[in-house]
Amino acid sequence: MTPTQKANQYVTQVLKGEVPACQQIKLASQRTAEHFERQADPSFPYYYDEAQADRVCRIVERFKHVKGKWAAQGKRLVLEPWQCWIVCSLYGWKRKADHTRKFRRATLVIPRKQGKSLLAAALLVFHLIFDGEHGAECFCGASNLAQAKEIFSAAQKMLLDAAEVLGARHVKVGHFTKTACSMPRMIEAFSALCTDGANHGTRILYEMMPFCDLDSVEKALALVDGAGAKNGGIVFDLWHIVKLKIPYEKIARVPLRYLLGVEINDGTFECPWSLHEDTINHRRLCGEGEFDVKGFVAAILKAGYQGPWGIEVLNAELRKKTLEDITSSAYSTTRAQFP
Comparing 117-131, 216-230, 280-294, the range with the smallest average pLDDT is: 117-131
Element (H, E) at 234: strand 232-237
How much is the average pLDDT of 254-280? 95
Whole-angstrom Cα distance, residue 159 to residue 138? 13
pLDDT of residue 314 exceeding 80: yes
CA distance 6 to 11: 9
Question: What's the whole-model pTM score?
Answer: 0.74
In Å, how far from its chain's centre is CA 98? 24
What pLDDT is recorded for position 317?
93
The span from the CA of 232 to the CA of 190, in Å, is: 8
pLDDT of residue 318: 93
Low-confidence winner among 49-63, 103-117, 247-261 (lowest mean pLDDT): 103-117
* pLDDT per position as a tens digit, 170-200: 999 988 788 888 999 999 999 999 999 998 8
CA dist 337 → 85, 268, 287, 323, 328 (Å): 50, 17, 8, 22, 15
- Residue 132 three-state SS: coil
In this prediction, residues 42-49 reach a mean pLDDT of 97
The amino acid sitting at 154 is: A
pLDDT band at residue 131 using 50, 70 and 90 as cut-offs:
confident
- Give all strands (DSSP E) within 33-183, no chain letters: 46-48, 93-95, 170-173
Q: What is the pLDDT of residues 90-107, one digit of tens each?
A: 999 999 999 999 999 999
Using the 8-state DSSP alphabet, how is residue 243 labeled?
H
Identity of the residue numbered 339:
P
Where helices occur in 174-287 by DSSP H, the ranges are: 183-199, 217-227, 238-243, 248-252, 275-281
Q: Residue 159's pLDDT is what? A: 85
235 SS3 class: strand
Average pLDDT over residues 224-235: 96
- The whole-angstrom separation of Cα 245 and Cα 239 is 10
pLDDT-based confidence at residue 255 (cuts at 50, 70, 90): very high
Cβ atoms of 334 and 289 closer than 8 Å: no
Residue 149 has pLDDT above 90, yes or no: no
pLDDT at residue 28, as a whole number = 95
SS (H, E, C) 4-30: HHHHHHHHHHHHHCCCCCCHHHHHHHH
Q: Residue 258: is its pLDDT beyond 80?
A: yes
CA 162 to chain centroid = 10
Domain annotation for the chain: domains and CATH numbers:
3-130 (no CATH), 169-335 (3.20.20.150)
pLDDT in tens, 46-70: 999 999 999 999 999 988 898 889 9
Confidence bin at 8 (pLDDT 50/70/90)? very high
Under a CB-based contact definition with an 8 Å cutoff, are residues 172 and 207 in contact? yes
Read off the pLDDT of each residue in 235-257 and give the average, rounded to a whole number. 97
For 273-305, the pLDDT digits (tens) are 999 899 999 999 999 999 999 999 999 999 999
Handedness of CA 282, 283, 286, 289 (dihedral sign): positive
Q: 135 falls in which pLDDT band (50, 70, 90)? A: low
- Of 333 and 158, more confident: 333
Alpha carbons within 13 A on the beta-carbon side of 158: 29
Instruction: Please give the full DSSP string across 282-297, using - where no structure is assigned.
Output: B-B-TTSSSS-HHHHH
Average pLDDT over residues 125-145: 82
Q: What is the pLDDT of residue 293?
A: 98
308-317 mean pLDDT: 94
